[in-house]
Chains A and B, each alone.
Chain A
């Protein structure tokens, strides 16, 4: 029964990914403007153009091109980037770690801001403190990451230049890294000087991504906490003499966290979507920044590859949310 549900879920995922592949393939091929003509030097003859079109498979019919491309993708071959003339998969894998590190740091920051504020709001429920949290949360929620990024650039980049506002790491530094997971590797190699430099670059873009999510976590977790605060077992803990903060941390939190956890999963996909423009804003060398360049350069294979990787990340996160929900929710676990 559970296995059946799981297989059905995997089928839907495959259908979604296939749909994304079809949509992006069709959309970028109705584009006017010949990517081949753009990459040739002026003075190239029509036979040069024909030769390159054949090289990139653009001389075949649309369905033929799609089947060839999809066949390649299934074997791990995403084609060759037209503008960078490198293998798309290695380009994408080279940039993906930067984006994953930024998104993960943003998620951790959102939890670090939202969690304590929710607990504070639940403890001080009905007071001016809670009202203040509600107003701030409502405002933070309706301002998108793009605007937060710009505001933070002004505050921490110009008025009080504490953090870096451009790039991933200082270009003057010598990087001993074997992988593209710079932040993780700098910690593992105990090179905390590099960790500090990386964090100084990542702090503002990550905060811009984190603030809307932090607001959602604050408001929802506070609501869930308040709902369980009057239940018998919580009242019992209070009677036992625990302080209000202890009651929240020991008893209420683990039962109130489930709705928030589910929501964080969905919101995390929105956060990853937000990295595209935030990376651009901070010239951060991640996948999203490369995607915008790929669109501007009409680099069809690279666009397809990047969009598909983003879609894969999104469906995997949704799958992880569903699975963890099934594991954590006692009603589903025993049902």
Chain B
């Protein structure tokens, strides 16, 4: 009972998560206006400057600089651009692909279901990070490759959930009624079943956006994402891991940013799910 109560009052979490995500989106859109410095400008006189509250900091570099003297805050703000693009495009692509296959498998059953379920089994037998690294290595580094890799790997999450939900819905009376009225199978699937499996899809979509941001950071970390000059959160983290004993702040700030973003996407998804769920509402 009390766990139901906890999910029934999601508004504080939903709003806090939404607030942080809004900040990230604004940073991405208005990066040139918000960033105090050019994120690519190197200044070897200013390398590894500490953040503003420590001795030796410089005004204009509030969070300090990395080992090439580039402003950390500016790089974090510009890094939000890649993160937001990957979160939106890759998660939507994975969602579309997975939900479509899940609907087909769940609604039509039979051979379609058998083939799609086997595909899911095969995909689940790959270690996902290794699969992503492999795909990006094959496709060549760049934003397109990262997005394609995430969509090609993570569609199974959507497929499994949508398939199971669709199978439940397809047995319900209203589907039978629609069939008696003479609706075609595709029409029933898209206009009757789909709206009813939407709530879990939306929650998963938000979760997937957080996962996509992490996967991009991991790919940047192993130096396989975007070009190494462009600021990405994972790239800054890789740099911070190397100079962790000289300048801990290079790792701390992108890490906090990623933590909050991933946590917000998952909390936002949970919050939306309980909003949409007719039983809980």
Contacts and interface: CB of A to CB of B under 8 A. Distances in A.
Interface in B124-149: 124-130, 133-135, 137-138, 140
Interface residues of B, number: 44
Contacts of B266: 141-142
Given A31-B138, A281-B241, A146 B217 contact: yes
Q: Is the interface of A mostly helix, strand, loop or mixed?
A: helix
A86 B244 CA distance: 35
A143 B244 contact: no
Given A154-B252, A291-B130, A142 B125 contact: no
Contacts, number: 133
A280 interface: yes
- Which range contains the number of A residues in contact with the other chain? 35 or more
Given A32-B140, A277-B129, A295-B137, A19 B6 contact: no
Contacts of A275: 127
A20 B121 CA distance: 9
A31 B137 contact: yes
A310 B127 contact: yes
A126 interface: yes
Contacts of A295: 130, 133-134, 137
Interface string B115-128: 00011011011111
Nearest to B264: A142
A71 B49 CA distance: 58
A295 B134 CA distance: 6
B229 interface: no
A296 interface: yes
B226 interface: no
Interface string A117-143: 000000001100011001000110111
Interface string A16-53: 11011001100110111000000000000000000000
Given A142-B210, A281-B241, A310-B126, A223 B262 contact: no
Interface string B226-258: 000000000001000100110010011001001
B129 A143 contact: no
A296 B137 contact: yes
Given A24-B134, A142-B262, A144-B214, A126 B2 contact: yes
B138 A27 contact: yes
B222 interface: yes
Contacts of B259: 143, 147, 151
Given A276-B130, A277-B129, A303-B134, A150 B237 contact: yes
B124 A27 contact: no
Nearest to A219: B3
B16 interface: no
Nearest to A275: B127
Given A27-B134, A27-B135, A295-B134, 15 more contacts: A15-B121, A19-B118, A19-B122, A24-B126, A31-B137, A146-B218, A147-B255, A153-B244, A154-B248, A158-B244, A159-B248, A295-B133, A298-B137, A307-B130, A314-B125
25 contacts: A16-B121, A19-B118, A19-B122, A27-B134, A27-B138, A31-B137, A125-B2, A131-B6, A134-B6, A142-B263, A143-B262, A147-B255, A147-B258, A147-B262, A150-B237, A158-B244, A158-B248, A273-B129, A276-B133, A277-B221, A281-B241, A292-B222, A310-B125, A310-B126, A314-B125
Interface of A: 12, 15-17, 19-20, 23-24, 27-28, 30-32, 125-126, 130-131, 134, 138-139, 141-144, 146-147, 150-151, 153-154, 157-159, 223, 269, 272-277, 280-281, 288, 291-292, 295-296, 298, 303, 306-307, 310-311, 314-315
The 10 closest A-B pairs by CB, nearest first: A142-B266, A19-B122, A273-B127, A311-B125, A31-B138, A276-B129, A314-B125, A277-B129, A16-B121, A295-B137
